[in-house]
Amino acid sequence: MKLRVYIAQKMTGLNCNEILKKARHIKKVFEKEGLEVWSPVLMENVPNKPIKLSVMSKEDLLSKWMMDKKDGLAKCHIIYDADGDKYSEGVAIERGYMRWYLWRPVVRKKLPGHPYSISNIEEDKIVYTHRQAAQYIVKYWGSREKWVMWKLQHIIWGLPKMIFKQIRSVWL
């Protein structure tokens, strides 16, 4: 089984050529470790130009988000937040969708020496380099057996709790 990793990175307002360079570098690092990469930057044809990325229209944004959800998030095993120290509304939504809706692992890159925060508790792993992320993903989810065991554990422990909390919330 070849794991597919969704590469989430801040895009809006940054220079297209820099975003593209970073996405290509991450892809190269992950592929070297035997992982398959799905990157919105690479799939959405971000131009290799030194111009700021901006949304063209509501329709453009919606079509890209639908593609990211249908072809990217839904078909990937893991999400990697390559810009964990930079706030991105889109990456926050993608992480939430993967973790809390699809019940998939989240690995986040932060700068060395970052203060301990809730992300250290809630994310599956905090790393400091792209290579560390790729190696961690291979080590903990890199075979069908490891992936299935992780999923089963979350279904077995999470599903009854989720159902109980949903039913209980009716009386809040």
Q: Is the pLDDT of residue 136 over 90?
A: yes
pTM for this entry:
0.91
Q: What is the mean pLDDT of the chain?
A: 91
Tell which CATH architecture fits domain 4-141. Answer: 3-Layer(aba) Sandwich (3.40)
| H/E stretch holding 38 | strand 36-38
Q: Is the pLDDT of residue 104 over 80?
A: yes
Residue 4: predicted pLDDT: 95
- The model's confidence at residue 166, banded by pLDDT at 50, 70 and 90, is very high
Q: Where is pLDDT greater, at 26 or 69?
A: 26
- Give the distance, in angstroms, between the CA of residue 81 and the centroid of all CA atoms in the same chain: 5
| In the chain, domain spans | 4-141, 144-172
Q: Quick one: which of 140, 2, 22, 28 has its CA closest to 81?
A: 22
Which pair of structure tokens corresponds to residue 130? Answer: 């792209």
- DSSP reduced 3-state for 12: coil
